[in-house]
Every structure is written in C-alpha cells, then in structure tokens.
Amino acid sequence: MDIYFYANTYFIKLVIATMVVFLGSEFMAIFPVFTNFKKHKETVERHIVPIWEITGTTIVVFVVELELIYSSLTPIASYLFIPLVGTFILLLVLRNVWIIYAEFIWKNKHNRVINSENFYKGYLIATFIMVILFLTAIVTLMYGKGIHLNLTDLSASYISYIPMLSTYNYWLFLLGTLFVAYGLSAVFYRTMKIESFVPLTTVIIGLILSVSGLYGVAIADKVPSGDIYLLIIPLILTLIIPVLYMNKRTTNIASYKPIFFILMVFAVFIIEAPVTYIAGGAFPISNFASANSMQAFNLYLSILGGIIFLGFMIMYAYVYANNPEKFGMEKPLKKETVTK
C-alpha cells in the first residue's frame, strides 16, 4: 500500500473523530434536559439547534469515506451489523423528525404529551441510543467477540452479541464513557457551579473505567503496546476541560465550544490512530482497501473538500459569533442559578 492509503487511513479517522464529537456534544445534552428542562432549555437549544444538521452530514461523510477507502469492508460491515445499522437508521430518522417537531411545533404548546419538551426528550433518547449502538459496533468490530466472518460467503457471516455483552471490557468502556459524558456535559452546558468538584470527579472516574476497558479491547485487537501508551494524551486532554472550568480565569475557555471541539476531536483521533486491525486482530484493515488510484483521488478530493468545508465553517463561526447577546461566550453560572 502506498502513501495515499496511509494518508487516507488518518483522514477517515479524523472524520470519525469529528463525527463522534459532534454526535457526542448532542448526546451530552441528555443530562441537563432530563434533570431540569425548563432551566437548561435555552442553553441546550442554543447549541443543538444550529448543529444537528451538520452532525447528520458528518455521519454521511463517514459512510461514503469508508466505502471509498475500504470498498470491500462496507458491504461486509453492513451485512454483519444489519440489526445495529437498521436500528441506527431508524433512530436517525426519529431524531431528525423529533428535533424538527421540537423546534417548530405549531400548536398545543401546553399539551401534556405533544409539546416541545417531550420532542426534545425523544430526540435526545434517540441520539443517546444511537451513540450507544455506535460504540457497541466499534468495540465489537475491534474486539471481535462473537464475529463470525466468512469472506468467501457473506451469507454465512453473522455476529452473536452474547459473547460481547458478557465481556467486562465492553461494560467498563461503556460505563466510563457515560461518566465522562456526564462530567463534560456539566462544563459544556454549564449546568454546575464552577466550584463544584462533580465534573472533575466524574470525568476522572469515567476515564479510569473507559481507559481500562479500552486497554483490554486494544490488546485484543493487536494494537502495539507502545501505541497504547498514547492513550495518556486523550486522557490529559479530557481532564484539562473540567480542570479549566474550575478556575475562574479559565472557566470561559473550558466551555467555549470551538476549543472544546478541537480538544475532543484531537483526543478521539489519538485513540483511533493506532488501530490497524479489525475483528480482534484477525484481519488487517488494509486487506479491504480500494485500488491505489482511488486512494490518490480520495486524498486530493479530501484536501479540496476539506478546504471548502473549512471555509464554510469559518463563515458559520463568524455568523454564529456575530450576535454576542445570543451566541457568544456565555457568562458563568451564578451560585443561585446552580442545578441542585
């Protein structure tokens, strides 16, 4: 394989990291919305409403990019993960429908069932399950537990989820991720006072759990042990956020969305970077690569498209920041407005 393929493998990992962080930022909204909707509605809406369409688009980018770089992997993955993919798509539809309903609901604003609050909650539950499914699929694909893959006869291939679900590494990773998400959510959506130790504590607990789980998965997937120590970088990057939040002078920086996004994209990217095998180390991912000419084409188009994307995102950020009253850096929470 040539340089184009290697460059593309890192590019798709960047795409995945972007998608995960966009989706994750919505996923985290479940905590403030379910604890006190009325209080946090505006803060959550301010972030989610202009972002959910872009999140959906990053999912599409990921699917197409995967097919372009690993053309023989996508049909296999679609086939193996039919129940997960099917549920994911269904939830994507529901998510889009519910957020649109929540946003533009036209009547019955005080109806006990059909109202904006319930649609937001429905949308967040759908997003929450989507993230869980995505994490499950990724861990399954890496860990290989329960995967029965027959490359010559796809119809004989299937996944049994029981071995996977009975693995403690999976649960450690999942539980850890939830803890991290809870802690970061408090910072991202500013739902806790800055003196609170809850965000930092939950992030630390979450990191201990998820890194332990991830370590087991990485070992099973033949990630070189030298590369596993790279996990220290995302660990530090994640910890920085609640630490900055606790300091009055840096609170604004911690929950400033662009900085949060950049730090987290980099953190997720570092986690993915050393992965070169799938199905518990059974198959090098390069086995599924597309032709060299396609790889070269993909790289050049990615650069071109990336520049266009960046240009439009700069425009977006400029317009976003153009109304300080609505979309600028938020003021820190006062003590009396703190969620109990």
Residue 90 or 165: the one with the smaller Cβ distance to other proteins is 90
Of 125-133, 191-199, 244-252, 290-298: span binding other proteins (CB under 8 A): 290-298
Please report which helix (H) or strand (E) contains residue 329, including its range: none
Interface characters, 38-77, with other proteins (x: CB under 8 A): -----------xxx-xx-xx-xxx-xxx-xx--xx-xx--
In 10 A of CB 175, how many CB atoms?
A: 15
Q: State yes or no: residue 291 binds other proteins (CB under 8 A).
A: yes
CB of 325 to other proteins, least distance (A): 8
124: tokens are: 């967040």
Cα–Cα distance for residue pair 173/30, rounded to 1 Å: 19
Q: State yes or no: residue 225 binds other proteins (CB under 8 A).
A: no
Residue 35 or 150: the one with the smaller Cβ distance to other proteins is 150
Residue 97 or 240: the one with the smaller Cβ distance to other proteins is 97
Listed in sequence order, the residues at least 6 apart from 254 whose beta carbon sits closer than 8 Å to its beta carbon are 187, 240, 241, 242, 243, 244, 245, 260
User: Which of 93, 114, 151, 165 touches other proteins (CB under 8 A)?
Assistant: 93
CB of 38 to other proteins, least distance (A): 16
Read off the DSSP letter of residue 248: T
Helix ranges restricted to H, the chain? 3-27, 30-35, 37-48, 52-69, 73-80, 82-104, 116-143, 161-165, 168-188, 198-220, 225-228, 232-246, 251-254, 257-272, 292-320, 324-327
Burial letters for 129-152: b for 16+ Cβ neighbours within 10 Å, e otherwise? bbbebbbbbbbbbbbbbbbebeee
CB of 299 to other proteins, least distance (A): 11
Cα–Cα distance for residue pair 265/230, rounded to 1 Å: 15
Q: State yes or no: residue 96 binds other proteins (CB under 8 A).
A: yes
Q: State yes or no: residue 312 binds other proteins (CB under 8 A).
A: yes
By CB under 8 A, the residues from 228 to 287 that bind other proteins are: none
Phi, psi of 209 (to 5 degrees): -65, -50
By CB under 8 A, the residues from 138 to 197 that bind other proteins are: 154-155
Q: State yes or no: residue 224 binds other proteins (CB under 8 A).
A: no
Name the site residues for other proteins (rule: CB under 8 A): 49-51, 53-54, 56-57, 59-61, 63-65, 67-68, 71-72, 74-75, 78-79, 82, 85-86, 89, 92-93, 96-97, 99-101, 103-104, 106-107, 154-155, 290-291, 293-294, 296-298, 301, 304-305, 308-309, 312-313, 315-316, 319-320, 322-323, 326-327
